[in-house]
């Protein structure tokens, strides 16, 4: 995966580009996983929390905030 700046990925993701969405989620997966490990009791709980978080993020990219 090449390193495309967020400033370029975000507008593409908002426009519905699946590759941009995939790159953004992949880029932040390790950080979300580290965060989840602090609060989840088991590796399975970590995996579930990360999956749900990234799923929600993918669904809401481009959703109106107003």
Q: Where are the domains of the chain?
A: 29-59
Q: Give residue 2's pLDDT.
A: 61
Q: What mean pLDDT do residues 39-61 have?
A: 96
The pLDDT mean for the chain works out to 91
CB atoms within 10 A of CB 46: 19
Residue 41's nearest CA partner among 53, 30, 31, 49 is: 49
Tell me what percent of the residues of the chain surpass a pLDDT of 90: 82
Identify how many contiguous H helices and E strands the chain contains and give both numbers. Answer: 3, 0
Sign of the torsion angle spanned by Cα atoms 9, 12, 25, 63: positive
Residue 30's nearest CA partner among 56, 7, 53 is: 53
Q: Is the pLDDT of residue 3 over 90?
A: no
């Amino acid at each position: 995966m090449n390193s495309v700046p967020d400033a370029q990925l975000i507008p593409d993701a908002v426009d519905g580009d699946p590759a941009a969405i995939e790159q953004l989620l992949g880029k932040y997966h390790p950080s979300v996983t580290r965060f989840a490990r602090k609060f989840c009791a088991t590796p399975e709980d970590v995996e579930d929390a990360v999956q749900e978080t990234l799923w929600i993020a993918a669904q809401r990219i481009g959703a109106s905030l107003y």
